[in-house]
Every structure is written in C-alpha cells, then in structure tokens.
Amino acid sequence: MIVSAQTYNIILIGIVVLVALRPLYTRLIKKEGSKHDWMFALLLLLLPTNWYTPTFITVTSCNTFTKEVLIFPTQKDGVSYSYGWCNYVINKAQQPLAFEYVYYGDNQPEEDEKNQVIQPNGIGKVDEVVIDFIFEPKAKSVSTKSSGATKTSLYCL
C-alpha cells in the first residue's frame, strides 16, 4: 500500500495521539502519577519505522514530482517493493534524471555513495533516507559543526 506523504504524516500523528492519550489522561486528569508512562516508550518505535519506510518520488516532468510513502510491501508498475532504508525515483519524464552526492568542506565520497543517472521510464533505487535538493539549486555552502557535510541532489539532465 502506497500513500501520499501528507497521508503518511497524518497517520503518524494519529498513532502518536493514540499512544499518548491514555498516559496524559492518567497523569493530568486523574492525577495518578506515572501509572501508564511506559506507553510513551512506544513512541520510540516510530523513529525506526519512519526511517525504514521507503519514499517514492515520481517525476512526471522536470520540476514536477509527487512524493509517496510505502506503508505495506506492494507492487507498483509491475515492480515489487518492500521495506528498506531508501528512496525510489520513478522517472516518467522525457529527460534523464541525475542523482548525485554533493560534498562540502573536507568530506570525501564513501564506497557506497554512487551517483546515478535514471533514464526515462526507469526506476532508480537511492540508498538514502532523504534527498536534500529535489529540482532546486544546490547550496554553495552549508553550516556544520564538523569539518564538512554530504548532501544529495536530484535534477534533470
């Protein structure tokens, strides 16, 4: 099952409200202390769930794309998708797309960081949780607490 990014965020907020409702009720309304505070630990489960849920970026033309999130393993356009720490870029545009890593400061490419070109009507799997610059200009510099940073960019060729 694939849903829009907005629907996915609404689902996450709903889960947070449902999990937090009872502990907040017992602490604030009934004034019973920490009887159900253990339920807040369930909220920690949302962090890995959110990072391990793939995102689909479907590009229909340069600068026009939709963002969707995989909730349950499924098939889309004849391809099977499952969970993982990645983004899928589906290129339905007429131009090829480029995904690249952008290095700032002293950062150097790592072994698993490979730039890719996604041909028209092709699907690219990007092993990153977030693509920082989608059809927008790359920043000339970024502010970091260390000596460098690595960002990602998706653009039309």
Residues 32 and 12 in one domain: yes
For residue range 85-100, list pLDDT tens digits in order: 788 899 999 999 999 9
Containing domain of residue 7, as a range?
2-49
Q: Which of 46, 48, 43 is nearest to 20 (CA)?
A: 43
Q: Do 35 and 77 lie in a common domain?
A: no
Q: What is the pLDDT averaged over residues 128-132?
A: 84
Do residues 28 and 91 both lie within one domain? no
Task: Mark whether 147 and 72 lie in a shared domain.
Answer: yes
| pTM (2 d.p.) | 0.74
Using the predicted structure, report yes or no on whether residue 133 has a pLDDT greater than 80: yes
Q: Do 40 and 116 belong to one domain?
A: no
Number of domains into which the chain is organized = 2
DSSP letters, 79-90, are EEE---S-EEEE
pLDDT digits (tens, 9 = 90+) for 99-123: 999 888 878 888 888 899 999 999 9
